[in-house]
Structure 1
Amino acid sequence: MKKFSSQEEVIDIWLREGYEKVYDATSKDFQKVVTLEQFIELSTSFNKGVKNYQLETKTILQNLTHYVWLDDKREKVVVASFDELNQIQRFYIKPFIAYPETDQQYTKNKYIMPIRGEWFVFWGGTNEFVNYHYVYENQRYAYDLVKVQDGQSYQNSPIRNEDFYAFDEDIIAPADGKIVKVVDGIKDNVPGEMDERNAAGNYVVIEHANNEFSMIAHFKKNSILVKSGDTVTEGQLIGRCGNSGNSSEAHIHFQVMDSQDIVYGKSIRILFKDGNEPIQGDTISNK
């Protein structure tokens, strides 16, 4: 990196009004959208009253390194994404949205991830920058999981579902329970296309103890092996990963709710059996 000794120091230079230096490190695409004058004006206004910024998360995703910093009052957030050449591809600022009350309320049951083998957390965590679901009460603590090899979720080219490592992989029950809803028969999308009318695609809802309900979505068409009323045990095969619903590539959406209603039920932060709290960028597995 020519202008900085490390990516992490960018935030301090920016706070000390080194706006032009930071702007010079941004990509041409960024500079087409935001002029230097706009960048300085927005930055100056945003930094008023801020003493310092602390690193909240650092994740690596799709060949970009993403930094999320919060100010000392945890009211403002700065996000910067660097490419492999240390150029800033994304830099955005906004008020920080947090739900500390529900962040502290975990499920009463302990769960496992509904997967076999090694998977990658594409979305997950307790802020909207590592988990886009977070701002939606009915999905706040959901996870989107993909399979990755050498930094990519697909082999060859991302044209066919079969090119994606997650497609047709086993999906298992995250805990003992009873199947209360199954939707199947929805076709898998062509990669890059989405079916917004059937957002969850093919999905399963399982009722667990303590009035908790897990939902697993985006199954492969006609791959679900259970029906409403069936009892399942933790780790039992229930279907295969697909690309149905509001999905651009093969992945699994997993969440736990206080109701079987996927629209109006409230998402609950998941207590995992292994004690981990995975976030975006983490590799997870069930042995």
Structure 2
Amino acid sequence: MTPPPVPLALPFTGRWLVQNSPARRVPSHGTDLLGSTYAIDFVAVGAGRATAVRRDWRSLLATEPNGRFVGFDRPILAPADGEVVVVHDGEPDHAARRSVALLPYLWAQPARVRAGAAAVAGNHVGLALADGRAFVFLVHLRRGSLRVRVGDRVRTGQVLGTCGNSGNSTQPHVHVQATDHPDVTRAHGVPVTFLGFREELVRGRRPVERAEGMPQEGSVVEPLRRGCFPSEDRRGGRPSR
């Protein structure tokens, strides 16, 4: 039986594009490997839906510096109260890749999987939630940015590190997943739900403010301030009138 979803705050400020959402499919990344069944990715965007401040010949034919991407080095926040149980740092931030430059990177993906969890996750933090329901991982962080140690107790909204491009990642983003075990090589994925966010849907519809829900694939989300959550049903439906 699938356990009920674990409620989390979005682990950032500002506007982020939703990719690999469990609202589209499960397993969300096409695999249950490393507890990723219900994982979700977020890529920071600037004006409109652009993930980078510049697009040129490198975007089509070569690698790009991470610094041109909106999310690189943006703070990543604790999505819930808990205790730090996993910290891994020291993995390099790869050059970013779009278009043609993705091909050799994708060919090497099986080798990264064989190299183990650290090669896939890159720099990451794992939290045991205070309510004991699950473990939550924030993945692909920037090398040297982690601000917590194993045993630290953290509160929702506390900075854990910054967004990077480490591990199995082609451009700066944060990957969020919940599991039933702190060792992802032994873990099963656990569903999550997010609290208090504004969602800009894909097809030009007006933004919707949700008290709780799973963002749709391709939407852009932004956390609402605490105390400003709309009145709506617990499944993340439209605000009640």
Q: Normalized against structure 1, the TM-score is what?
A: 0.59
Q: Corresponding residue for 2:86?
A: 181
Deviations 1:119-151 (A, max 9, x none): 11011124448x742542621111111012333
CA RMSD of aligned residues (A): 2.0
Deviations 1:259-287 (A, max 9, x none): 11112211111133331221211211123
In structure 2, what residue type is equivalent to 1:204?
A: V
Distance in 2 (alpha carbons) for counterparts of 1:275 and 1:255:
17
User: Do structure 1's residue 226 and structure 2's residue 148 form an aligned pair?
Assistant: yes
Q: Which of residues 143, 158, 165 is equivalent to 1:236?
A: 158
What displacement does 1:204 show? 0.4
User: Do structure 1's residue 146 and structure 2's residue 43 form an aligned pair?
Assistant: yes
Gaps of 5+ in 1: 1-100
In structure 2, what residue type is equivalent to 1:260?
A: P
**SS of 2:213's equivalent?**
coil
- Structure 1 segments, 4+ long, off by >4 Å, are none
In structure 2, what residue type is equivalent to 1:178?
A: E
Distance in 2 (alpha carbons) for counterparts of 1:270 and 1:175:
12
What displacement does 1:210 show? 2.3
Distance in 1 (alpha carbons) for counterparts of 2:91 and 2:31:
27
Judge conservation of contact 2:23–2:214 (CA < 8 Å) in 1.
no
Q: Which of residues 248, 259, 262 is equivalent to 2:170?
A: 248
Q: Corresponding residue for 2:53?
A: 155
Q: Which of residues 205, 214, 218 is equivalent to 2:126?
A: 205
User: Structure 1 191/226 Cα, relative in aligned 2: closer, same or farther at 3 Å?
Assistant: same
Residue pairs, 1:1-287, within 5 angstroms: 101-102=1-2, 105-107=3-5, 109-128=6-25, 132-136=28-32, 138-149=35-46, 150-157=48-55, 158=59, 159-192=64-97, 193=105, 196=112, 197=115, 198-208=119-129, 209-273=131-195, 274-287=211-224
Distance in 2 (alpha carbons) for counterparts of 1:207 and 1:244:
22
Distance in 2 (alpha carbons) for counterparts of 1:207 and 1:134:
25
In structure 2, what residue type is equivalent to 1:161?
A: N
What displacement does 1:110 show? 2.1
User: Structure 1 204/271 Cα, relative in aligned 2: closer, same or farther at 3 Å?
Assistant: same
The count of aligned residue pairs is: 183
Identity %: 30
Judge conservation of contact 1:123–1:279 (CA < 8 Å) in 2.
no
Distance in 2 (alpha carbons) for counterparts of 1:154 and 1:184:
25
**SS of 1:199's equivalent?**
helix
Deviations 1:144-195 (A, max 9, x none): 1101233321121341100111111110000000000100111100112577
**SS of 2:67's equivalent?**
helix
Q: Normalized against structure 2, the TM-score is what?
A: 0.70
In structure 2, what residue type is equivalent to 1:267?
A: G
Gaps of 5+ in 2: 98-104, 196-210, 225-241
